[in-house]
Structure 1
C-alpha cells in the first residue's frame, strides 16, 4: 500500500499508510481511543507545538492486524513518535466461554438468520471496502452460534411444554399425565420434486396445538465432511454430525417417534392425538414403539387430503390420455374438482354431529364428479346452489298443487333442471373418478371425523408446521446451498425454532442471552419493527374484509375450460 510523508516540527517525516477502504468501528471503542490521544496531545509539548505550526499532531500509521471485520489500527504522535493502538471492536464471551470479536459474531449471526454464508458476506464486504472473515473463521463462529441456538431452543421448548401442560390441566384434570394434541411434520435439506428422495439431512418437529410453539425438534444427518474426506488412517477428533444411515424418507418417522417417546420425561405430557399429513407409516410406528402408543390417535390433515386428491387427478390424466381435451379433465376442471372437495370438507367440519357429518362428507365426495360435470340431481342443497334452487322450486310446485293452483314458472324450472344422464365420454370420466374417490373416501372422512378433539370446528391442518418450514427456508437459504456437510443446517434449524417460539423479535433477547452483552439500539429497533409488521399483518388478516376475500377465493368455482 503506498505511503506518504507527514512533516513534523523538526522537519523530519513519518511514513503514513494511505487510508484505503473502510472499517467497522464500535463508537465506544472510538471514544476510548480519542480520550487516549487527547490526553497525550494535552501533555506532550512537542505535539502542542506541532499543532500550532499547522502540522498534523497525530497521524494514522495504518492497520497493524485485522481479524475478520475487526482491525487493530495504529496511530502515532508526529513529534515524539509514541504509538497508540486500538481495536475497532470489543471482545465478548459467549455461553460456552472463549473470546470473540463482537463484529465477527454479529456478521455471522446476521448471515445465518438471513440464509447467507461466507461467500455472500465476503462479496458484500468487498464492495464496501471491508476485509472479511476467512472461511475457516466463519465456519468456526457459525458452529459456535449453532451450539448456542440449540441450547437456547432446548430452554424455549421446555417453557413451551410447561405452557401446554398448564392449559391441559385447566381443561381436563382427570389424567395423572396430561394429554394434549400436537401437530407433526418433517422436512429435508433439498427438494425432492417427487422423484429424488436422497437428501443428506432431515428435520422433524412437534408443535403444541394450543400454544403453537415447538415442543420437540430433531435433525438427522447422513453425511459428515470430516469422516467422508478422511481416506484411511485415523479420523481426526471432531464434532461428528453423522447420526443416520438409513433412507432419507425414513428420517421423519424416526424423529417423530423419538419426540413422542421423550414427551413424558421432557415435558410430563402424553401426546394423545396428533395432526399429521398422509404419511401412513408414522401412526403404526408410534403405536408399536411409544410406551403409551395405544392411546395415540391420528387426525388427518385436511389440506393434505385435498392435495392427495389433486395429485391423483394429475396422475389419472397422465395414465389415460383419453381424459385429456375439451370438455374433459382439463386443468380448469381439475382445479374445480379440487376446490369442490375442499369446500365439502370445510362445510362438513362445521357440523356438530360428527357421525352424521362423516356420512354426508362421503356422499358429497363421491358426488363431486357429477356435480362438476353438470349433473346436480344427487347434490346436497347446502353445498350446491343449483340443487338448492331446484329444491325450492319443487317445494313451490308441491304447495301450488296442494292449493290446486297452476304453476307460476314451470318453464324456468324446466330450464334449471339438469338431466341425470350424461354423454358416454363424461360418463366414463365420472366413473373413473368415482373409482379413485371411493378408495380415498374413508381417508378424507378422517380429515373431519375428530370427535375426540374438544373443538367446535374440526377442519384441522398442519399449517403451523408448514409455516415453520417456510421460516426455516429463510435461515437455510431456501434449500439452494448444501449446508449438510458440517452441521450448519442443524444450527440454522435451531435458529428457525427460536424464531417460531420467541416471535419476530427473537433476535435481541437471544443475543443478550447467548453473547452476554447488551444488543445495540439499532438491533432492538429492527426487531421492534419486525414485531410491528407481524402484528399489522395479523390484524389485517383478521379483519372482516380479509376474511371475506379469503372466503370468496375458497368458494369461487373455476369455470370449465371450453377451448
Structure 2
C-alpha cells in the first residue's frame, strides 16, 4: 500500500526505513529486531539492503556536496573575500592508533558554522576481505571468482598510513583542492595546539606564496595550564615544600583548584581574546590574587568586578586573604607554569582565538549514526559522515525533503 518514490521502483516505506536505520545508527539488524518485536514483516533481505546502501551512499554524497557548496558560498559572502578562515579537526572510530575508519572536516566560522569540506579514511574494504576467503578454497573456479570480484568492485580502502596520520593527511588534501573545488583559499586555520596538522600545512605549503596563519583553539590552550599544573603536582608527589608540607591536600593545590585555574584561564581568554594587554593582565591576576596575603598584597592585575580585596578597599571594609589564597610555598612551586603559559609571547598564540566546538559537535553527530561500539563497513561509515554533513548544516527536514523525492 506504500506509494512508490518518484523516478524509482522503490516504495516509500522501504526508503524511509533504510534512511532511518542509518540516522539512528541501528541499521538493518536493528530494524529486523524492531519488526520482529512488533510482529511485522521483516525489512529487505540483508544482501539487497547492502546493495541499496551503495546506492544510498551515492545519493547522500551528492546532497552533502551540494550542502557544502552552499555553506562555502555563505562563508565567502560573510568574509567578503575568497581568503577565508576555517576550523579543522579529525575524528576516529576508536581512540588508539589502530582505528579502521576516521574522518577530518573543515567548518566555516560564521555565526552558524557549517561543514565546507570533509575527507573520510578507511583502512579496510569489506569486499576485499570477503573475497580473500575464496582463495582459501584453492580451486581454479574460486580463484577466477576472486579475480573478477577484485577487478569489478570499487575498493573502499583509501588509507594505508598509521591511523594517527588521518587528520593531517586529510586536512592537507582538503586545503590543496580548495582552489579547484571552490575557488577559495584557507588562509587562517583554527586548530588545537597538540595536533601535527599545522606542522604539515607549514611544511607542505598548499598555496604558493601564502603562509597560513594558525589560530589557537581556546579550549585546548586553556588545558595547557591544567596539564602543566598536574605535571608539577605529580612530580612533587610527597616531597616536602619549604613550609614542610606536600603540595597537595586541603587548602593547597588540589585537583579541584587546578580545574578552577583552567576555568579562570579559559574565561580570561574568551573575554579578552582581542586585546593582548587585557588578556595578559587577566591571566596574571589569577596567580597574583592567590599569591596575596594579609600582610603582602599583590592585586595590581585584579579587576574590581570580581576581586574581594579591591571591593573591600573601595567600601572601606576589612578583607581576609587566608581562605582565598594558597600558601606561598605552593605558589612559588607552580610559578614556572604561569610564567611560561601566561607570558605575552605565549598568549599571542591565542589572540583572536576561537574554538573547535562546532567540529566536535559535528563529530558527535557522526557517531550517533555510526556508533563507535559497532563494527562498520566503509560504506556505512561514509553514509554516516555524509548524512551528518547535511543534518548538521541544513537540518533533518532538508534531508527528507531532498531524499524522499528521489
TM above 0.5, one fold? yes
CA contact (8 A) 1:278 1:304 kept: yes
Deviation at 1:384, TM superposition (A): 4.4
Match of 1:274 among 180, 189, 192: 189
Find 1:309's aligned residue among 225, 230, 234. 225
2:47 maps to 136
Tell me which structure has the larger Cα radius of gyration: 1
Pick from 280, 301, 304: which aligns with 1:380? 301
Gaps of 5+ in 2: 136-142, 239-246
Change in CA separation of 1:123 and 1:417 when aligned onto 2, cut-off 3 Å: closer
**Aligned counterpart, 1:505:** 397
TM-score, with normalisation over the residues of structure 2?
0.82
Q: How does 1:420-431 map to 2 (within 5 A)?
A: 426-431=327-332
Of 463, 470, 481, 2:357 maps to 463
Change (3 A) 1:102 1:357: same
SS in 2 for 1:431: helix
Deviations for 1:252-291, whole angstroms, at most 9, x for unmatched residues?
1111111111111111111111211223422221122212
Q: 2:39 and 2:52 mapped to 1: Cα distance?
A: 22
Partner SS state of residue 337, structure 2: helix
Query: Counterpart in 2 of 1:44?
Result: none
Structure 1 or 2: larger strand share? 1
Measure, in 2, the Cα distance between the counterparts of 1:276 and 1:283: 8
1:433 partnered with 2:357: no
Change in 2 beyond 3 A, CA 1:421/1:139: closer
Instruction: Indicate the structure whose relative CO is greater, using CA pairs within 8 Å and at least 6 residues apart.
Output: 2
1:376 and 1:489 map into 2 onto residues whose CA distance is 59
Q: Which residue of the partner structure matches residue 481 of structure 1?
A: 374
- What is the root-mean-square deviation in Å for CA atoms of aligned residues? 3.1
| Cα separation, 1, equivalents of 2:191 and 2:173 | 16
Report matched runs for 1:5-84 at 5 Å.
25-26=1-2
Tell me if 1:253 matches 2:168: yes
Per-residue deviation, 1:464? 1.5
Q: Deviations over 1:87-114 (max 9, x none)?
A: xx636645xxxx4343222211001011
User: SS at the partner of 1:217?
Assistant: strand
Gaps of 5+ in 1: 1-24, 27-88, 173-177, 394-408, 451-458, 517-563
Separation in 1, partners of 2:105, 2:335: 36
* Maintained 8 Å contact 2:292/2:325: no
CA distance in 2, matches of 1:245, 1:432: 46
Contact 2:84/2:187, CA 8 A, preserved across alignment: yes
| CA distance, structure 1, for counterparts of residue 221 and residue 10 of structure 2 | 50
Residues 154 and 375 (structure 1 numbering): CA distance in 2 closer, same or farther, change over 3 Å? farther
1:348 CA drift (Å): 2.1
Q: TM-score, normalised by structure 1?
A: 0.61
**Is 1:186 aligned to residue 96 of structure 2?**
no
